[in-house]
Structure 1
């Protein structure tokens, strides 16, 4: 279970939610005091996901010396098989909770395997290298879909910006930070969903928020 890390208890700046297509104010992530060489992903409210070394799994228990509670990667073997082998486009990889906007009532939005046009397969084919590059910039541990999954969750549930993308689509973005030691990489992932089908179409780690009506 992902929890707010005690290492981030000194965070004082709250996220200023900016909902709409214009008049957006810059959103600031609470200042972190993380100095450990471990890789952390930090969301706009200070929620963190720790990426431990070596074991290829993730935990949010940021302040324990020995990892005791581990959660699996975004894709478990069933997901890998359904997306990569069976090409089961309707298989749900992960469910997220999205904030309401306009006629969109919010609630559950699914990331499915889908195809080259939508979902996890599209994200993998078009943007996996970009997600991995963010981790590589901090010499980070973990995998690209660790980072992507956390960023999508934070953008949908704690958006800094939501905008109407036309054709039944909504664009979500929020500030995300990667920490490793004293190195910090900041970016604003872009997540596009279908309002009618309640699914993630794509997600990529843009440096600046790109949601415009």
Structure 2
């Protein structure tokens, strides 16, 4: 069952400082200047830039990872306490982040939990970390200063974009009653503020439970619908 878009107040209530910039202009053969790229989300035929502070607030902000025996730091921002509780103690319900889903006159919490191989952070890490890392690498290769948006690792990008998708799920929001799931997707892009164009874009598909508060999965996807 397709669900109509959430009301316009939703995105502004959860992601602060949005500014409509209109449809992208024809591409211009010039390299983006440093710090000229703004992360944006596609709303209809308009690219809406995401406020850096609002996006940064939705990244994981977990404890810094500890060096391994060789002195290298893990690419994901899971500190020792989170890693021990999730990976050793298998505390499936440990919460890493909370996103806000407006539905039926309420704003409902959708929580990224430790999970297992079928849902949550463990599932995303095991099945989709490489996709998120490749997306982040591509965005940086196009000139994006990801640190300005609080994105220092693949799971920061995952968490920030997931928050935006859940907050404003759009016309593609689908309820899959047989499996008690919500599913939707959104397009994100890097808006060149100097040349008024999108230089790189990627889709994100997100699924969460309709009978509990858990996030099931979120991953880069080229599919048009769930």
Structures share fold, TM-score greater than 0.5: yes
CA 1:61–1:207 in 2, change beyond 3 Å: closer, same or farther?
Answer: same
* Residues in 2 aligned to 1:95 and 1:135: alpha-carbon distance in whole angstroms: 22
Which residue number in structure 1 is paired with residue 130 of structure 2? Answer: 129
List alignment gaps of at least 5 residues for structure 2. Answer: 1-13, 26-31, 43-47, 64-78, 147-151
Q: Where in structure 2 are the equivalents of 1:43-62 lying within 5 Å?
A: 43-44=41-42, 45-49=48-52, 60=53
1:148 correspondence with 2:163: no
Cα shift at 1:73: 4.2
Given that 2:59 and 2:159 are in contact with CA atoms closer than 8 Å, whether structure 1 keeps it comes out as no
List alignment gaps of at least 5 residues for structure 1. Answer: 14-27, 50-59, 63-68
Which residue number in structure 2 is paired with residue 87 of structure 1? Answer: 90
Higher helix share: 2
Cα shift at 1:74: 4.2
The structure with higher relative contact order (CA 8 Å, sep 6+) is 2
Which residue number in structure 2 is paired with residue 201 of structure 1? Answer: 216
Root-mean-square deviation (CA, aligned residues, Å) is 3.6
User: Considering only CA atoms, is the larger Rg found in Structure 1 or Structure 2?
Assistant: 2
In the TM superposition, what whole-angstrom CA distance separates every residue of 1:29-55 from its partner, at most 9, and x where no partner exists? 89xxxx543465323442233xxxxxx
In the TM superposition, what whole-angstrom CA distance separates every residue of 1:115-164 from its partner, at most 9, and x where no partner exists? 01110000000001101111111325421111100111011111222012
| TM-score, scaled to structure 2 | 0.62
SS of the residue 2:216 aligns to? strand
Q: Where in structure 2 are the equivalents of 1:93-172 lying within 5 Å?
A: 93-100=96-103, 107-138=108-139, 139=141, 141=146, 142-160=152-170, 161-165=172-176, 166-172=178-184
